[in-house]
Structure 1
Amino acid sequence: MLSSRVRRPVTHVLSPLASPRLPTRQPPHAPWRRFASSNQAPSKSSESRSHWFRHSLGLAVAGTAVFIGYTYVTNDWKGTGVDGAPSAKKGSTPIDYPSLQFVQEKRSLKSPGVYTWGSNVYRVVDPGSKDTNVKTPRRFSYFDGQVLRDFKIDDKAGAAITENGDLVQWGKGYSETDFTPTKTLTGKSLVSLSLSEDRIVALSSNGTVYSLPISQNDQQSGPKPRESSWVPFWDGQSRLSYRVLQPALKLGESVTAISTGQEHALLLTSSGRVFSAAASTEHYPLLGQLGVPGLTWSTRPSGPVDSCHEVATPKGAKIAQIAAGDYHSLVLSKDGRLFAFGDNSFGQLGVEFDPNLPYKDTPVELSLRRLYKGGTYLPTVTSVAAGGANTFFTVDAKRVPGPGGDAANVRDLGRVTADTWACGRGIWGTLGNGRWVHLQDQPTKVKALSDLTEYDEKTKRIAPIHLRDISVGTTHVSAVMDNKTHLKAATTDSLSGSQDWGFDVLWWGGNEHFQLGTGKRTNLSKPTYIGAPDDTGKKSETESRLQIMPRHKGQVGRKTVSMEQRVSCGRHVSAIYSGV
């Protein structure tokens, strides 16, 4: 059955984070009972024979118990565990594997791939199925045995970057007739991608940013650029229509990260600068999401519609992370300051909503002082994520004496609390705070993901549990926790040990197309675990919650590859894939 995280004392935090709930042991059988065959008293001879039988039986039972006990203690029992797994070797601690957890872990090691679920109206989640919705994680057969550089899906189209950097597309948004995944943009050594309403923005390993239409028809009928070749005098025309986004870079500067909304794209450079550009064929960004004051369709500078514009962040603020929602943008500086701009109709910028001006076209800094009142904590934003009309950010809050306080009297001085905050639209429960609201312009704490701790075997101390990653779809969210995956202090890149587990992953928000993977259509306003995918064809007697496998070495074909599992949430769809 599904379990949910609740606040526990520190001494009880490690167990549920380190491993799934183990099945309880059954009580021993009741001892044998003797029943008299009649009410008459037994004769002496029969009583003597009965005493002899009882003594012999007692000696036999005692001898068997001693033998079994000795064998169990020395771990010499030759048998198999759940699903045919060998039992613990001599010198190790025997563990009862929940079968699905064991299968999930071994499958990740021996057969990497992709799992998808949610809306399948446009044949994105399962191209070979006519199901309109896929209720629980389902294996995507095309990617069996593959590790990917990136994977993004929307309700109408899907795109992935293969291990060698080629772009693969599928879904009705790409082709109305052929739903089979097809390689499109190849030979560019792509490393990451992002989807807008009708275009794909992809980043190559050398920092080049490509923008191409999602539609196959537009790729074939649109203007095709000329491409150079490594062979002298052998230039030619591309077989696909695409554009290259060209920000005004300095000498030695390159683009290192990209993020897109429905109509715009953000580009982060190695110098900590941010550029924005239009990323839609049909619509021009008019809600301030480009971060350029007064920029509209009529006031845009001469040149291509998708020209890059530098976002004027406060002087001295070097940007470390970027994130784009549907119509708003977020940038996080290296010193932990968060700036937002664009649409604020649902409070997604984290500032007060003004009905007379529902958007901001210049970056505004989100104040953390109002989130940690009293001056007893020093907060720093550590990560940011966006999707739909929602914003999520994590904060490390360090305990300090406070104004006029005496450090000697602060018991938990220096303690770091890892918190997760959210703002924006919450009508589907997307805020994760247990409430259903239309507009949340004051950041609210996601308590289920905040102030969590566990015992670190390496440092021998209680440590905060941070968020490892968070993926935000249009109406739903998934968060991967950065809990310890090894019970031993020594680190390892293998998952073959019996005490190796995965990262906890939780889901919440809208579930109108079963995108939460619970198998039900109920929306969830609090982070919740879901079950591990069971595609073994056998009904398991035990259930195991889904976990994300950490980076490890696994077999891909004839070679060993370092890989990890990642989560991707889109518009009414979700996915887990094996990434390099």
Structure 2
Amino acid sequence: MSFRFLKRTHQCLPRLNWLMPIRRYAKQPQYDEADIFAENINHGAYKAKKRLSKEHFQWPEKSPDQISKESELQWERMAKLSAVGQGILILFVVGGLGTAYLRWPELKSWWLVKMNGGRINAVQEQNGQDSLEKLIRQKAKHLLREIPQVPTFQLGIDHPGVYIWGRCHSKDSLFPIRVPNLDNRKFRDILLAPSDDFNTNFALDEKGDLISWDDLGQTKTLLPDQDLTSMRYSSDYLYALNKKGEILVIPIRTPNLIASKLSSRRSKLLPWKTRQIYAWKLPTSQVFNGKKGENRVVQFDTGNHHLVLLSNLGKAYSCATGNDQKQAQVSRGQFGMPTLSQFDEFPPNNELFEIELLNKFKYEGDDVVHRREIKKIACGSYHTLAIDQHGEIYAFGWNRFGQLALPISYNLEYVSFPRSVMHAFKPHFPGMTNWKCVDIHCDDETSFVTIRQPKSSSKSDYHYFAFGNGLFGELGNNTFKNSQYDPIKIKVDDKRLKNWSCGSHCVFSETEQENEVLAWGNNDHGQLGIGKKTVKYAKPMNIPEVLKPGQDTTDLESIYNSSLHLAKHQRVITNGIKSCIYWQV
């Protein structure tokens, strides 16, 4: 009986080990499964499995077509690899040769030093200096080839006419060239070729007639007897303001359509004289309040597909530009109306809308609507700036590059209603409250603002700011930034600027006292007129004087060290590809 009890207890011990652990002695041997099976794994005989048949060691038979296709694919892969290798080799060779060409003086001097055991005598040093002087002379000769020789019989800068430079005559001109057939002529306004595929310039002569002219001076009258004062280009159409305060819509690409809008009218006082009447005008009478005396346009500007105008009462209106058919465009907020945002249908062409949120406002907690008087507007490609009578700045439109002085974000990429942006300039005037904006200008994607503050507060009471796209140096602060929403100061050394002209990534201005021309921005065609084809300049700089008839062009120092000063009635303008100087009436 006791034996059975001991046996049963011994069988239950492993199961009760987790409840009542058994005491083990230090010298008691312990085993696990790995130790038990290790002997068989390490020393056991290995027996490979036998294959069922010999078919597994035989390659499948292929047809001749398959063999030929495989060989063609293999040759094709080898040809591609060979072409890639040859391309890489050519790149290395061309890069090496180019580097050697650019650094030839250094390589030559290094070779001379190496061949002389690390020493160089006076003769060799003189030879190196001679080679450098030779390179300088070659560069000077290259510059001389780019400097045109002005004939002695040609009129000088003191006589009225037109000078043009940049991308003109189907080539790049680095210095202003006088346009033939336009001598002794003055103009009210000039518009250089508005697009790359339409290389025709336009001008308003002394009588206000619209004429077209090419870079060689060949002219043609397009629209006579209209008494035009200024013009802008948008959506392949020309918009011109006459002295009556009307804006004419001129399809410059279709002269036949212009002729169809003209009609003759005989003068009542002088019956033997006739006058041309142009019928296509913006319908301002539909939106102007004639009862309050609102009856004419005093200023306007255009973007790529929009126009903004100011009436004589300081009210702003906008419209889409182009022909009278539906355009497949998307609004970017450039119209200044919440109902014409990027989510809404594009408005009809040449139909004016009042920008009510710019013309009217209410004080917080007040139900009375007040009228805001707008003093000036300026348009970029898809954005607009405006100044009111108190010098406050408002902006609306596209803000991808920060051209509205608003933070760049998804919610602020398109701003379809006017917003005050005065807060962006407060960090530049800490503790001051009586500063205000007095001037605005717009490039395609860049904005320029002039702020005036009391004269007693600093050396200069005028400060110039830029914000937006500065990839080509348009910001004028010696940096190249793709986007800049915080206004930054333009480095103009306390000079007062006037008569701005902003083209596509190219800016011109004049100083107030000396009429000295400053330029900055893109210069890939020599449109800055600095006499060099450097890609871009990020700081306002002087441009050389216009070459005089019979001037010695070998004196490079006197040419490049001079600076251009305009006369009282001379103006400089640009379209971003070429620029010109003309005499204004």
> Which bracket does the TM-score occupy, shorter chain normalised?
0.5 to 0.7
Counterpart Cα distance in 1 of 2:451 and 2:390: 12
User: 1:187 maps to which residue?
Assistant: 225
User: 1:261 maps to which residue?
Assistant: 303
Aligned-pair distance for 1:226? 6.0
SS of 2:401's equivalent in the other structure is: coil
Structure-2 change in CA distance of 1:397 and 1:237 (3 Å): closer
Counterpart Cα distance in 2 of 1:373 and 1:395: 10
Unaligned runs of 5+ in 1: 1-99, 121-128, 173-177, 400-411, 453-464, 486-502, 552-563
Structure-2 change in CA distance of 1:250 and 1:143 (3 Å): farther
Structure-2 change in CA distance of 1:338 and 1:230 (3 Å): farther
Task: Identify the structure with the greater strand proportion.
Answer: 1
- Residue pair 2:165, 2:529 contacting (<8 A) in 1 also: yes
Aligned-pair distance for 1:359? 1.4
Counterpart Cα distance in 2 of 1:237 and 1:300: 41
Counterpart Cα distance in 1 of 2:235 and 2:562: 33
Does residue 359 in structure 1 map to residue 414 in structure 2?
A: yes
Counterpart Cα distance in 1 of 2:354 and 2:402: 25
Does residue 275 in structure 1 map to residue 317 in structure 2?
A: yes
User: 1:392 maps to which residue?
Assistant: 448
Q: Which has the larger radius of gyration?
A: 2
Does residue 533 in structure 1 map to residue 576 in structure 2?
A: no
Task: Identify the structure with the greater helix proportion.
Answer: 2
Does residue 306 in structure 1 map to residue 350 in structure 2?
A: yes
Aligned-pair distance for 1:197? 4.0
Q: Residues 464-521 of structure 1, C-alpha deviation per residue, up to 9 Å, x if partnerless? A: x4222211111111111112x4xxxxxxxxxxxxxxxxx0111011111211112322
User: 2:582 maps to which residue?
Assistant: 577
TM-score (norm 2): 0.63
- Residue pair 2:531, 2:544 contacting (<8 A) in 1 also: no
For 2:431, give the aligned amino acid.
G
Counterpart Cα distance in 1 of 2:529 and 2:438: 28
User: 1:164 maps to which residue?
Assistant: 207
User: 1:224 maps to which residue?
Assistant: 260
For 2:312, give the aligned amino acid.
S
Counterpart Cα distance in 2 of 1:387 and 1:283: 24
Q: Superposition pairs for residues 281-292 of structure 1, below 5 Å?
A: 281=323, 284=329, 286-292=331-337
How many percent identity over aligned positions? Answer: 27
SS of 1:207's equivalent in the other structure is: coil
Aligned-pair distance for 1:415? 6.7
User: 1:491 maps to which residue?
Assistant: none
Structure-2 change in CA distance of 1:150 and 1:296 (3 Å): same
Q: Residues 162-199 of structure 1, C-alpha deviation per residue, up to 9 Å, x if partnerless? A: 00100112459xxxxx9833110111000111112411
Structure-2 change in CA distance of 1:226 and 1:194 (3 Å): closer
User: 2:248 maps to which residue?
Assistant: 210
User: 1:59 maps to which residue?
Assistant: none
Structure-2 change in CA distance of 1:230 and 1:331 (3 Å): farther
Counterpart Cα distance in 2 of 1:447 and 1:297: 36
Structure-2 change in CA distance of 1:328 and 1:471 (3 Å): same
SS of 1:184's equivalent in the other structure is: strand
User: 2:161 maps to which residue?
Assistant: 113
- Residue pair 1:228, 1:235 contacting (<8 A) in 2 also: no
User: 1:467 maps to which residue?
Assistant: 497
For the aligned residues, what is the CA RMSD?
Answer: 3.2
Counterpart Cα distance in 2 of 1:171 and 1:547: 25
Counterpart Cα distance in 2 of 1:363 and 1:240: 34
Q: State how many pairs are aligned.
A: 403
Aligned-pair distance for 1:257? 1.2
Counterpart Cα distance in 1 of 2:258 and 2:544: 45
Structure-2 change in CA distance of 1:148 and 1:236 (3 Å): closer
Counterpart Cα distance in 1 of 2:470 and 2:344: 34
Counterpart Cα distance in 2 of 1:259 and 1:468: 18
Aligned-pair distance for 1:238? 7.3
Aligned-pair distance for 1:225? 3.3
User: 1:446 maps to which residue?
Assistant: 490
Structure-2 change in CA distance of 1:362 and 1:434 (3 Å): same
Does residue 508 in structure 1 map to residue 556 in structure 2?
A: no
User: 2:175 maps to which residue?
Assistant: 136
Structure-2 change in CA distance of 1:548 and 1:467 (3 Å): same
For 1:165, give the aligned amino acid.
G
SS of 2:492's equivalent in the other structure is: helix
Counterpart Cα distance in 1 of 2:444 and 2:501: 11
User: 1:56 maps to which residue?
Assistant: none
For 2:410, give the aligned amino acid.
P
- Residue pair 1:211, 1:245 contacting (<8 A) in 2 also: no
Counterpart Cα distance in 2 of 1:241 and 1:362: 32
Aligned-pair distance for 1:446? 0.6
- Residue pair 2:166, 2:577 contacting (<8 A) in 1 also: yes
